[in-house]
Structure 1
Amino acid sequence: MFKEELTIKIANDFPGTKTEIDGRRVVYLDSAATSLKPQAMIDATTEYYSGISSNVHRGKSYSLELVSNRYEEARYKTAELLSCAGNEIVFLRNTTEAVNLVAAGLSLTKEDKVLICADSHHSNLLPWMARSSVDTVRVLPAGGLDLEHYYELLKLKPKVVAITHCSNVTGIYNPLEEMTKAAKEVGAIVLVDAAQSVPHRKVSVSKLDIDFLTFSPHKMLGPTGIGVLYGKKDMLEQLTPVNYGGGMVDWVDLEEFRLRKLPHRLEAGTPHIAGAYGLTAAIDYINEIGYNTISAHDTYMGKKMLNMALERDYIQVVQPDSDCDRGAVLSFSIPSQPKLDDIARVLSDTYGIMCRNGHLCAQPYIESVAGSQVLRISTYLYNTESEIEHFFSALDDLNTFMF
């Protein structure tokens, strides 16, 4: 057992783990979509709205400077998390907006090649499809990217390589350092979708030759509505802003305007200030628990989920290779049940289990491996082994009368 008592103690910090439906405690197994929130993060967000909830960087007053300082504290906490400089962190709405900013800001054309992973989330697929010519790295049937195919496609000298660090479908981690080094050797710009990895593992951009990296704090105990884009300073300066307005200019007259320095030139309009408060609290909480503990829990739960799934012949796991480097995300199809809406609903209403069904915002990949919907379970530091066992016990019950 992986320190079940520690996990239970951590779970007590999350009000969501105490939620009940018809007297049954909810088992939340959809953290790959968005995580539950610790009370400390909720309190930090409430603190902003309960006090003088002024704007930031606009005018001179005590309360405004206090709020502005707290907002910038979140930026520097994030920079410390990723091991970069504060002016290399841009706050946006989410990972989706960050990838769109890079894809649009680089002024790509259909003549430019962009290399993506076959199991990419739509957020790391559609922005490139809309603006460039996309080549896709195959995924091996048993698990992981086909790296031989990756190296072959690099010979085409893509302008951008958009790497999914950890799949939101399988939880399998790609070899980021190896892939980045190879991409840079052919002169490619490297963007990393770290939405599924930063919540579980320490990612140091200073140790990697990454140009851009993005993640969504709502998947790592933070609030929705705020996203993070890291970019090397010289790369951020190459981006043409997508949004124009207040807060991103130093001077405006009726003939021209002058952009502010980084990162503010890429942050037009009033930002998600309460979200920055919450992000700081989420990072503090993660640092308190420690990435070593979080990562070990993620790996352990991932193995347990996979092993329990492989014991059941009525389900078909997507990428079942047990030797892959994977976290606690597992997707599978039920061949006898191509549509899984009813299954997900019964799991929710009868057993109190919240999981995900559908195409997981990775429809081209899911259609290629399953032909229809899949069911996904995913855990975080507040989930216990007994909750995974409860899920598979419930699935076994359904197998007796529904499959």
Structure 2
Amino acid sequence: MTAVVDLRADFPVLGRTLDTGPLVYLDNAATSLKPRSVIDAMAGYYDTVSANIHRGKHILSEEASERYEQVRARIAARLGVAPHNVVFTANTTDGINLVAAGLPLTADDLVALPLDAHHSAQLPWRERCRTMWLDASEHATVDEDSFRAALDRSPRLVVLTACSNITGHTADIDRLTAQAHEAGAWTVVDAAQLAPHRLPRIGDHVDALAFSAHKMLGPTGIGVLCLSDRVIDALSPARLGGGTVDWADAHEFRLRRAPYRFEPGTPNISGVYGLGAALEYLDQVGEAELAASDHRLLTALLAAAEARPYLTVLGGLSDKDRLPVLTVTLRGIPDPSPLARALSDSYGVMCRSGYFCAQPYFAAHQLPAGLRIAPYLYNTEAEIEHTFTALDELHRHLARDTR
């Protein structure tokens, strides 16, 4: 607990006091808070450098370029790939769209999509190709029978969710992508919910993996797309411009090598500075401490939910292969939006209500909208207890009003 208290001082937003008392931020599956070091790194870029990258030979441009590529190399090392395999994007959505727009796919090609996939991992493929759904297991990961049946139909590409943003359950990405590759499919992994807790080592069978900085203590507007050499060779840049070519005259142009051919125009340089600071912060926390925090918070969430019969936990109560993301529906409250507002206005608790950009999953299971509680490394068991005590009081009031 001391470590958490020490961490909390690093996050300026947690110093806010509302009319209801201290702020309790439990919307981390949507976006995380930012430590002071990330904010300072971004401000430092503008204060002391503020130059463009890869555009000049003066010292400020070289400083910015060096830091930019240092962050790329740090991410590549964490993922177990070469720096040329790491592309900076605007976010996870942008990265997946880059792949969907650039691969040589036709309207007749089949793409397999997990039922719990975020809209950003579904819609780019639904717009362009034939698609089929991979049924969700009871944990909202891919159902094994459905996955094998899908591979029997020889899909051109398979999309997988590394961690469900509904239940927090994680999928066995190494095994599933290996099976998809054996069936001749490209594989695309949405790692947006997994990255804040651990960056996976990229196996030989992952062709594209995308995540966002803002969910892992970094700034908004910067994401990472990791591409296999196989996909790089097949992928046409969806956008062209400055930075993507080695040469362009009135008659022809020559594309730069990866990753630069996929990074048009002036990028979010300050965002990369912030992402680098976020990675350094998480490294200082350490993988073991972060995993211990995840386990502690998940245990508190599941225990609190299990003790309340009026709650239904999506994905069940198992803690196996699960991160601290908990979505519940509440008996007698089909629309939890007023409840989420009351949690904020009366108790200072920030969490999310709705369908979490995964409406096909809710529709297939005939589920009402849910309430999602998603703590992160700076949250405490006391905050979780406060939240569920507030839920008890609000449920008594709101459920009575719906009768």
Q: Please give the TM-score of this superposition, normalised by the length of structure 1.
A: 0.96
Deviation per residue, 1:125-159 (Å, 9 max, x gap): 00110111111111124554311211111111111
Alpha-carbon distance in 2 for matches of 1:137, 1:300: 31
- Aligned AA (1:88): N
- Match of residue 82, structure 1, among 63, 79, 82: 79
Confirm whether residue 59 of structure 1 aligns to residue 42 of structure 2.
Answer: no
Secondary structure at 1:223 match in 2? coil
Alpha-carbon distance in 1 for matches of 2:105, 2:320: 34
Alpha-carbon distance in 2 for matches of 1:275, 1:381: 22
Identity %: 44
1:299–1:114 CA distance, 2 compared to 1 (3 A): farther
- Aligned AA (1:64): S
* Contact 2:20 2:345 (C-alpha < 8 Å) held by counterparts: no
Matches within 5 A, 1:108-257: 108-141=105-138, 143-205=140-202, 207-257=203-253
Alpha-carbon distance in 2 for matches of 1:142, 1:226: 30
Confirm whether residue 94 of structure 1 aligns to residue 91 of structure 2.
Answer: yes
* Contact 1:303 1:322 (C-alpha < 8 Å) held by counterparts: no
Q: Which residue of 2 aligns with 1:389?
A: 385
- Aligned AA (1:220): M
Alpha-carbon distance in 2 for matches of 1:211, 1:274: 28
Q: Which residue of 2 aligns with 1:293?
A: 289
Displacement, 1:188? 1.1
- Aligned AA (2:80): S
Deviates most, 392-401 or 4-13? 4-13
Displacement, 1:56? 0.8
Displacement, 1:401? 1.4
- Aligned AA (2:252): E
Secondary structure at 1:376 match in 2? strand
Deviates most, 273-282 or 59-68? 59-68
- Aligned AA (1:186): A
Deviation per residue, 1:266-291 (Å, 9 max, x gap): 00011000001001111111111111
1:234–1:153 CA distance, 2 compared to 1 (3 A): closer
- Aligned AA (2:215): K
Alpha-carbon distance in 2 for matches of 1:144, 1:320: 12
Alpha-carbon distance in 1 for matches of 2:297, 2:393: 22
Alpha-carbon distance in 2 for matches of 1:247, 1:279: 21
Alpha-carbon distance in 2 for matches of 1:302, 1:362: 22
Q: Which residue of 1 aligns with 2:374?
A: 378
1:167–1:142 CA distance, 2 compared to 1 (3 A): closer
Displacement, 1:370? 4.9
Deviation per residue, 1:86-132 (Å, 9 max, x gap): 11100010000100111111032221111121100001000110111
- Match of residue 332, structure 2, among 317, 332, 336: 336
1:321–1:138 CA distance, 2 compared to 1 (3 A): farther
Displacement, 1:310? 1.9
Displacement, 1:18? 1.4
Deviation per residue, 1:194-253 (Å, 9 max, x gap): 111121024111x44211111001100111001100011232232111111111111111
Alpha-carbon distance in 2 for matches of 1:299, 1:113: 38
Alpha-carbon distance in 1 for matches of 2:74, 2:51: 21
Alpha-carbon distance in 1 for matches of 2:233, 2:299: 42
1:276–1:202 CA distance, 2 compared to 1 (3 A): closer
- Match of residue 258, structure 2, among 257, 262, 267: 262
Alpha-carbon distance in 2 for matches of 1:66, 1:323: 45
Moved over 4 A (4+): none
How well do the aligned residues superpose, as a CA RMSD in angstroms? 1.4
Deviation per residue, 1:271-322 (Å, 9 max, x gap): 0000010011111111111112212221332232122112211121111141
* Contact 1:82 1:202 (C-alpha < 8 Å) held by counterparts: yes
Secondary structure at 2:275 match in 1? helix
- Aligned AA (1:35): S
- Aligned AA (2:192): A
Runs of at least 5 residues in structure 2 that lack an aligned partner in the other structure: none
* Contact 2:111 2:132 (C-alpha < 8 Å) held by counterparts: yes
Deviates most, 74-83 or 314-323? 314-323
- Aligned AA (1:287): D
Deviates most, 348-357 or 177-186? 177-186
Alpha-carbon distance in 1 for matches of 2:306, 2:241: 53
Runs of at least 5 residues in structure 1 that lack an aligned partner in the other structure: none
* Contact 1:142 1:321 (C-alpha < 8 Å) held by counterparts: no
Alpha-carbon distance in 2 for matches of 1:45, 1:128: 34
Displacement, 1:23? 5.6
Secondary structure at 1:242 match in 2? coil
Displacement, 1:259? 0.6
Q: Please give the TM-score of this superposition, normalised by the length of structure 2.
A: 0.96
**Alignment size in residue pairs:** 399
* Contact 2:20 2:346 (C-alpha < 8 Å) held by counterparts: no
Deviates most, 304-313 or 379-388? 304-313
1:215–1:267 CA distance, 2 compared to 1 (3 A): same
Deviation per residue, 1:309-367 (Å, 9 max, x gap): 12211121111141531110011112311112211111001100000001101111123
1:175–1:58 CA distance, 2 compared to 1 (3 A): same
